Amino acid sequence: MIRFADIPVGSGGETRCSRCHGESGEVSYRPAAEIAAEIAMVCELWDELPGPNVALTGADPFGHPDLPALVGAAVEAGCRRLCLATDAVALRSPQNAGGSLMAGVRHLRWTILGGTPGVHDVLVGTPGALDLSVEGVRSFLSIASEETIPVSVTAVVPVCRHNVHDLPAAAGLAVDAGADRVLLRLDDGGLDLPAALPWIVAACDTGVVNGVWVEVEGVPFCLLPGYDLHLADAVRQRPGAKPPVCSECALDAVCGGAPAGASADQLATLAPPVSAERLSVSVLRARGMGER
């Protein structure tokens, strides 16, 4: 519900599944002056409350030589919530963690590919990466708590066929590390969605019973009966109403939209004789995400 403007500080080196995306490209950063000007413009034009809110994304901002100046520029421009999208490894250093907090960083978008080294480390291709990353988040949170600075950490998990079975563990790890939200973001057109759903559902439940919210991005609400609240804002809708994503679906003309809390059986009656499983194939095809 709180909107951020994403401003890339560079490209390459993002935490993504190496099996899906291959080697991460060369890291390059944009000039600080250019980024600062963009931040200033976003803040100036920001027209809804609460805000302005800016997230520095793309290549890890901690690799940018002028990060302190960029954070300063954001605060100067009136940014209320400044977020860094990072693997958090750099935050292990108390100077980085304390420095960014003192300068005004309040949000982290912390990307992990799984909840266990067997998945995360293997997929990023760096042994020990997950432990270092968790250490970074903990260091940020512990300094924030010592200084009584309110902060918020979202663990972002790009979901693909290689990590889907590790989603509940990822939610558990995010809870352990102190995140207050988990975002499962579909990142694989070839994912067997019906087979993935039980893992997604288990991750949602793992979060809820531990008091951490799990949000799912990229799954149409007809596929997650009973879990519609977990769907990202753009998709979550009043029962019966259809979100924009439906307009891309092959069944849009015949489907009346899913009632909240509908079971798979009830869904099958929405556009008879389509079963929940065939529905998902159709949705995926319609959204250009390929067939299973």
Residues that bind other proteins (CB under 8 A): 1-2, 48-50, 75, 79-82, 104, 106-107, 150-152, 154, 180-181, 207-208, 211-213, 226, 229-230, 236, 238-239, 260-261
Least Cβ distance, residue 18 to other proteins (angstroms): 30
Q: Residue 255: which of other proteins, ligand SF4, none does it interact with, CB under 5 to 8 A by kind?
A: ligand SF4
Least Cβ distance, residue 182 to ligand SF4 (angstroms): 23
Q: Residue 82: which of ligand SF4, other proteins, none does it interact with, CB under 5 to 8 A by kind?
A: other proteins
- Of 79 and 170, the one with the shorter C-beta distance to other proteins is 79
- Of 74 and 255, the one with the shorter C-beta distance to ligand SF4 is 255
Q: Residue 251: which of ligand SF4, other proteins, none does it interact with, CB under 5 to 8 A by kind?
A: ligand SF4
Instruction: Label each residue of the chain as H, E or C.
Output: CCCCEEEECEECCCCCCHHHHCCCCCCEECCHHHHHHHHHHHHHHCCCCCCCEEEEECCCHHHCCCHHHHHHHHHHCCCCEEEEEECCHHHHCHHHHHHHHHHCEEEEEEECCCCCHHHHHHHHCCCCHHHHHHHHHHHHHHHHHHCCCCCEEEEEEEECCCCHHHHHHHHHHHHHHCCCEEEEEECCCCCCHHHHHHHHHHHHHHHHHCCCEEEEECCCHHHCCCCHHHECCCCCCCCCCCCHHHHHCCCCCCCCCCCCCCCHHHHHCCCCCCCHHHHHHHHHHHCCCCCC
- Of 151 and 245, the one with the shorter C-beta distance to other proteins is 151
- Of 120 and 230, the one with the shorter C-beta distance to other proteins is 230
CA 44 to chain centre: 26
Report the relative pairing of strands 213-217 and 152-159 from DSSP bridges: unpaired
Question: Which chain residues interact with ligand SF4 by CB under 6 A?
Answer: 220, 222, 242, 246, 249, 251-252, 255, 257-258, 279, 283
Least Cβ distance, residue 238 to other proteins (angstroms): 5
Q: Could you tell me if 192 and 167 are in contact, meaning their C-beta atoms sit under 8 angstroms apart?
A: no
Q: Residue 27: which of ligand SF4, other proteins, none does it interact with, CB under 5 to 8 A by kind?
A: none
Least Cβ distance, residue 45 to other proteins (angstroms): 17
Least Cβ distance, residue 189 to ligand SF4 (angstroms): 16
Q: Residue 50: which of other proteins, ligand SF4, none does it interact with, CB under 5 to 8 A by kind?
A: other proteins
Q: Residue 184: which of ligand SF4, other proteins, none does it interact with, CB under 5 to 8 A by kind?
A: none
